[in-house]
Structure 1
Amino acid sequence: MVDLDRADPDDADLDMADVGPDNLAALDRLFATERSTRHCWCMAFCRSGPAFAAGWYGGGNRRHFEAMAARGPMGVLAALNDEPVGWCACGPRARYRAAARGRSRPLTLIPRADDDQVWLVACLFVARDARGRVALPLIRAAVDLARRQGASAVEAWPVSSSTRRRPEWAHVGREATFTRLGFTIVGRPTPDRAIMRLDLSG
């Protein structure tokens, strides 16, 4: 069995925090480093296509994120020397129903009966200078958050480890990273994508 509490060498230098209303400013600093995150605010899979597009400019997606954060944690933020370097969006699968309705083919194949009990690691974003060192501890922290919130399992939808170049969907993570943390494949909707799951009920 994989020990999710085992620290990797990089973990000791990282501070992890659940993201809610009190630390949105730090998340804003991280998102401001790239155009896509600056406008997306991880709402692509939480809102309908038209609503997400309308919120791309003018701060609509950020305001929607803030409203959701007032109701519960939206994910995990990693900081190094007080500077935000990584983000993992995670929450009950019910939060990401916009993706399941067709915005992401892998999610359309997941049975929906337990959407409120099963969590999804929906997205990862790591600052350029920290890439290659932060994703694994971020996912570990996301699993810990899910467990504390009473989730029965955590799912992910990463790209295949056989993909050599950084793929377009790199923000969903790599299969090998989730495998290291004990996730197992429960479906492969396309050759380069997997549906993976970690049971927390044991």
Structure 2
Amino acid sequence: MPAELETRPVGPPELGVLERLFASERTTRHCWCTAFCTSRARFAAGWFGGGNRRRFEALAGGELPMGVLASRDGEPVGWGAAGPRSRYLGADPARHPLLRDRSRAEDGMVWLLPCLVVHADHRRRGVNHALVEAAIALARSHGAVAVEGWPLAAGEDRPADAFVGREQLFAELGFQQVDRPAPGRVLVRLDLPTT
């Protein structure tokens, strides 16, 4: 029986652990989950030489966690980026067609889950599910009114793009489809009850 999965928010103290996970995957080694946090040109320029890592570290020094980390037996097995839409330049409707019809007035109150990474040895073992649940809890604890994602649509089989999640995963956790902004992609939303 596999060890229990633990999740926690990611801030500066967790960067060393997160680095171990990112180093294990070819794309995350250079991406550092900054593709949606900056312009395409800056992201591409930061791919080699550590620019994206430095950008991530600078963002992680802010008051909000950058997302959630999943671990088993103390080893990092998954990462889920999560934060207010305002953090993600790629979420700016003027820059990203997936969110062109979203209200900018909500950008500070609606959180986005743009990326999920699971270590190859731990896929299909509930890690993505745990990451999304933890991201929802994190968003709720910071006063978010909703959480959105832009996963691959049901039936899409594009492994290279699976880092955004799959529609079925989000549907299982109560997200509702609100738009189909691009072929093969859906925009999903989970409204969080306010107390």
Task: Calculate the TM-score normalised by the size of structure 2.
Answer: 0.92
Partner of 2:168: 176
The SS at the match of 1:150 is coil
8 A Cα contact 1:45 1:103, kept in partner: no
> What are the residue-to-residue correspondences of 1:47-126 with 2, within 5 Å?
47-71=38-62, 72-100=64-92, 104-126=96-118
State the 1:106 CA deviation: 1.2
The SS at the match of 2:159 is coil
Mapped to 2, the partners of 1:137 and 1:88 lie a distance apart of 9
8 A Cα contact 1:17 1:76, kept in partner: yes
The SS at the match of 1:169 is helix
Q: 4+ residue stretches of structure 1 with deviation over 4 A?
A: 101-104
Greater Cα offset, 32-41 or 190-199:
190-199
The Cα offsets for residues 88-110 of structure 1, whole Å up to 9 and x where unpaired, read as 00100011123435664312332
Mapped to 2, the partners of 1:168 and 1:79 lie a distance apart of 23
State, as a whole percentage, how many aligned pairs show the same letter. 54
Q: 1:177 to 1:20 in 2, by over 3 A?
A: same
Match of 1:40 among 10, 31, 39: 31
The SS at the match of 1:84 is strand
Mapped to 2, the partners of 1:147 and 1:53 lie a distance apart of 33
Match of 2:185 among 168, 193, 196: 193
State the 1:56 CA deviation: 1.0
Partner of 2:133: 140
> What are the residue-to-residue correspondences of 1:8-23 with 2, within 5 Å?
13-23=4-14
The SS at the match of 2:105 is coil
In the alignment, residue 153 of structure 1 is paired with which amino acid? A
Flag structure 2 segments of 5+ consecutive residues without an equivalent.
none
The Cα offsets for residues 112-131 of structure 1, whole Å up to 9 and x where unpaired, read as 22100000001000001111
The SS at the match of 2:27 is helix
Task: Calculate the TM-score normalised by the size of structure 1.
Answer: 0.89
Flag structure 1 segments of 5+ consecutive residues without an equivalent.
1-8
State the 1:168 CA deviation: 3.0
Greater Cα offset, 143-152 or 191-200:
191-200
State the 1:73 CA deviation: 0.2
